Amino acid sequence: MSKLLTKFSLKLWPDPQQQQAFIQALTEPQPYSPCIAWIKGRSEKASFQRVDALPWQLPFVDRLAVGERPGKHDLHHQGAYYCLDFSSVFAATPLTVIRKKPKVVLDLCAAPGGKSLLAWRFLQPHLLVSNEVIGKRVGMLISNLKRCQIAPVRVLSADPSVLAEAIPASADVVLVDAPCTGQSLLAKGESAPGCFHPASIQHNVKRQRRILANASRLVVPGGYLAYMTCAFSEAENEQVCRWFTRRFPNFEPQTVDALLAFQSHLTDLPCYRIWPQSGLGAGAFTMLFRNTQGTASMAQPLGAWLDENARWSSE
């Protein structure tokens, strides 16, 4: 067992039993229930064995019995549903606080597309904008949106700073599924080299702060900003959110009543976590903010800029 992992667990919990449960979930990963999000409605052709839905579970999501392989089914290839980790559903649950149908939803770090799809499916925006700054990941994003016939959507590949300059105050909802150390990958039996090293964590913290600062400029007055990661470190999650509330006091933290049982024990801010030892999923952190003040007006009409810069679009 890594000394870094042991030291890391000590920072998260004073309770040795919690520390050991966390370490065991990462070093001896167990299979989690696969999860699917139906795009238009449940199909009678599906014969999956489902697990009972949790109270906060999105209504179009099914959690399946361990051992089910929905990715191999013809319905998946036909775009009837999207396969994802249940932790991703948890991370998107704060969107249920948003009551007004948004005109524009912007997903800043969108590939492979799961959060974009969940936001589109639940909020039904007039337009979904899915952005992925890493060029080699754009193809998989487009492929998944095409397969699931998501429309209307525009796919971009631009740094958040470019978007903040070009189309400020343009989105009613901005999602930041931030790049992180990916520590939850271990709970899936995958590798994440250096994910507990302090240098790696701090590198990601700087990147997360920069993305959030630019994201704040993209939210319309009264709009929402959702921040989420698949990391466990306090530095990448609670501490980033504390920094954001100090730096941008007009963004007010939003309580998500449905997730009160998952309140992070590391802060009084209304942010929520799934830990890998819960058995629900590999792990996630999520928090929602609302812009309570006005921001700069758009530099030019959103549609014109998108038409000029979109990598792919669907009506």
**283-to-89, 111, 304 alpha-carbon distances in Å:** 11, 18, 39
**Quick check: helix, strand or coil at residue 65?**
coil
The dihedral over CA atoms of 36, 37, 40, 42, expressed in degrees to the nearest 10, equals 40
**205-to-133, 181, 237, 258 alpha-carbon distances in Å:** 17, 9, 9, 28
109 is catalytic: no
Question: DSSP labels for 17-44?
Answer: HHHHHHHHHHHS--PPPPEEEESSS--T
Catalytic residue among 109, 148, 195, 230: 230
**Quick check: helix, strand or coil at residue 227?**
strand
Helices (H) and strands (E) in the chain, counts: 10, 13
Residue 177 CB-half CA count within 13 A: 27
Tokens of 220: 């319309």
**Quick check: helix, strand or coil at residue 140?**
helix
Tokens of 62: 């099914």
Active site residues: 230
